[in-house]
Amino acid sequence: MNNGTYGENYLLAVSDPDIVLIGNQWWMIFASGPAIPRALAPVAAYLPPGASLSTSTTYPSDPNGWHLVGANSAGTGTVPPISSSASSWDAVAAETPSATVGPNGPMIYYSGHNTGQTNFEIGLIEGFNTSTGTAPTTLSTPVMVAQQPWEFSSGLGAILEQSIRWEPQLNEYLMYYTAGAWWASPPDNTLAQATSTDGINWTNRTKLDFPVSYYNQDFVYNTNRSRYEMVISNDPTGAGGANPRNLVWREAATPAVTMANWVNETTLLQYNAPNAASWYNSGALSPAVKYGNLPGETNRIYVFFHAYSQAGDMTIGRFYCDPVGVPAVQPQTITFNPIPAQGVGTTLTVSATASSGLPVAFSVVPNGNCSVSGSIVRFLNTGNCGVIANQAGNGTYSAAPAVGQIIVVTNAPPKPTAQTITFGPISAQRLGTRVTVSATASSGLPVSFVLVPNGNCSISGNVVTLLNRGNCGVIATQAGNGTYAAAPAVGQIIVVN
Summarised one tens digit per residue, pLDDT across range 90-130 is: 888 889 999 999 998 999 999 998 865 568 999 999 989 88
For residue 305, which of 365, 390, 379, 215 has the smallest C-alpha distance? 215
Is the CA virtual torsion 197, 202, 208, 212 positive or negative? positive
Identify the pLDDT of residue 223: 79
* The total number of structural domains that make up the chain: 3
Residue 416 in domain: no
Whether residues 340 and 430 share a domain: the answer is: no
The pLDDT of residue 12: 55
Give yes or no: residues 221 and 251 share one domain: yes
> Looking at the structure, do residues 97 and 194 belong to the same domain, yes or no?
yes
Does a structural domain hold residue 296?
A: yes
Answer whether 364's CB lies under 8 Å from 370's CB: yes
Query: Looking at the structure, do residues 355 and 433 belong to the same domain, yes or no?
Result: no
Strands 403-410 and 342-343, bridge-based pairing: parallel
Domain boundary among 410, 443, 478: 410
> Rounded distance, CA 236 to CA 224, Å?
30
The pLDDT tens digits along the chain (497 residues) read 343 444 444 455 678 999 999 988 999 998 887 656 677 888 898 999 988 898 888 788 888 888 888 776 666 666 788 887 888 888 888 899 999 999 989 999 999 988 655 689 999 999 898 888 888 777 888 999 999 999 999 888 899 999 999 999 889 999 999 999 988 889 999 999 999 999 999 999 999 999 999 999 999 998 777 789 999 999 999 999 999 999 999 988 788 889 988 988 989 999 999 988 888 899 999 999 998 888 878 788 899 998 888 888 888 888 888 765 555 667 889 999 999 999 998 999 999 999 999 999 999 998 999 999 999 999 999 999 999 999 887 767 777 888 999 999 998 766 788 999 999 999 999 999 999 999 999 998 999 999 999 999 999 999 999 999 999 999 999 998 878 899 999 999 999 98
280 and 192, same domain (yes or no): yes
Same domain? 203 vs 257: yes
d(CA 85, CA 102): 23
Report yes or no on 126 lying in a domain. yes
Is there a single domain that holds both residue 187 and residue 128? yes
pLDDT at position 7 is: 42
pLDDT confidence of residue 376:
95
Neighbours of 81 (CB within 10 A): 28
Between the alpha carbon of residue 101 and those of residues 21, 52, 108, 203, the distances in Å are 8, 19, 9, 20
Q: What is the pLDDT of residue 116?
A: 57
Last residue of a domain, one of 410, 437, 465: 410
Residue 386: partners with Cβ closer than 8 Å, 6 or more residues away:
364, 365, 367, 404, 405, 406, 407
* Same domain, yes or no: 365 and 469: no
The H helix count followed by the E strand count for the chain is 0, 39
Residue 328 included in any domain: no
Element (H, E) at 6: strand 2-12
The CATH number that applies at residue 388 is 2.60.40.10
Is residue 327 in some structural domain?
Answer: no
Residues 426, 351 share a domain? no
Are 92 and 132 in a shared domain?
A: yes
Q: Mark whether 310 and 372 lie in a shared domain.
A: no
What is the pLDDT, as a whole number, of residue 75? 60
Residue 461 forms part of a structural domain: yes
Query: φ and ψ at 495, to 5 degrees?
Result: -85, 125
- 415 domain-assigned: no
> What is the span of the domain harbouring residue 459?
421-496
In sequence order, the 6+-apart residues with CB closer than 8 A to the CB of 96 are 16, 31, 110, 111, 160, 161, 162, 216, 286
- Given a contact cutoff of 8 angstroms between Cβ atoms, the answer to whether 13 and 31 are in contact is no
Q: Is residue 185 part of a domain?
A: yes
Q: Write down the pLDDT at residue 55.
A: 85
Size (the chain), residues: 497
Global confidence as pTM: 0.67
